[in-house]
Amino acid sequence: MQRLRRVAQATRSLATAAAPPVRVHNPEGTKRVVVTKDLPGQRWLDILTASGCRVEVCTSADTILSTSAIKALLGARCDGVIGQLTERWDAELFGALRAGESAAASRLRSRKLTPVRPRLARPAAGGSAYSNYAVGYDNVKVADATAAGVAVGNTPGAVPPQAPPPAAPPPSPRAAGVLTETTAETAAALTLAAARRIVEARPAPRAPPAQLTAPLLAG
């Protein structure tokens, strides 16, 4: 009786977290792509839907999704994921993307409570690609992805291309990387803001005229 009670308690605890809400694009697509955070622009979405993908964009209000929430998003079938730098993609998530056995079956097997029943097993999610929405990929354990058979990509164009052959046309000014100009512009903006005390002066236009101390603002 005690053994059966333990099995029942373990089975009840295996319920997975409810999947966060999503916005679905191209519901008839044959490839399921999960995007863990809404992304700016439209071109990336047009490319995916034009390629026959069903795109599910997470609309959760959580700034950073937990590992359990991401696993719930992946579900029983997921062909690819676009994730964020704030998410830790390691063996656990890559395993959930590629695993051939449900988390419930895995936990029952590890506890050795009872043989894994067929109804607890599920087909492999089938995921074969993960794209990091960032130039860096410190949050991605590439070795774990390789072991799981999942290809990993990051923001394209971030690394300067190799020197072209002499016969090739010169690279465009933006070929050095998608963040090159952005980084330079941000550095210049911060320098000017500090030099002209922009943050300190921000409340001044809304202050009464008597409080507009021009000498201080100009300093």
Structure tokens at 5: 């009670």
Domain 8-153 in CATH 3.40.50.720? The answer is: yes
Q: What average pLDDT values come out for the chain (219 residues) when binned by 10 residues?
A: 49 57 96 96 95 97 94 93 96 87 45 43 69 92 95 73 53 57 90 89 71 57
Residue 117: the pLDDT is 44
Residue 210: the pLDDT is 57
Residue 179: the pLDDT is 73
Residue 123: the pLDDT is 44
Q: Which helix (H) or strand (E) holds 81?
A: strand 80-83
List every span in the chain annotated with CATH 3.40.50.720.
Answer: 8-153
Residue 20: the pLDDT is 94
Q: Provide the whole-model pTM.
A: 0.64
- Could you give the CA distance from residue 165 to residue 14 in angstroms, rounded to a whole number? 58
Residue 197: the pLDDT is 85
Q: Are 100 and 108 in contact (CB under 8 A)?
A: no
- Could you give the CA distance from residue 93 to residue 64 in angstroms, rounded to a whole number? 15
Residue 180: the pLDDT is 77
Backbone angles phi, psi at 19, to 5 degrees: -65, 140
Give the angle 97-102-106 at the CA atoms, nearest 5°: 115
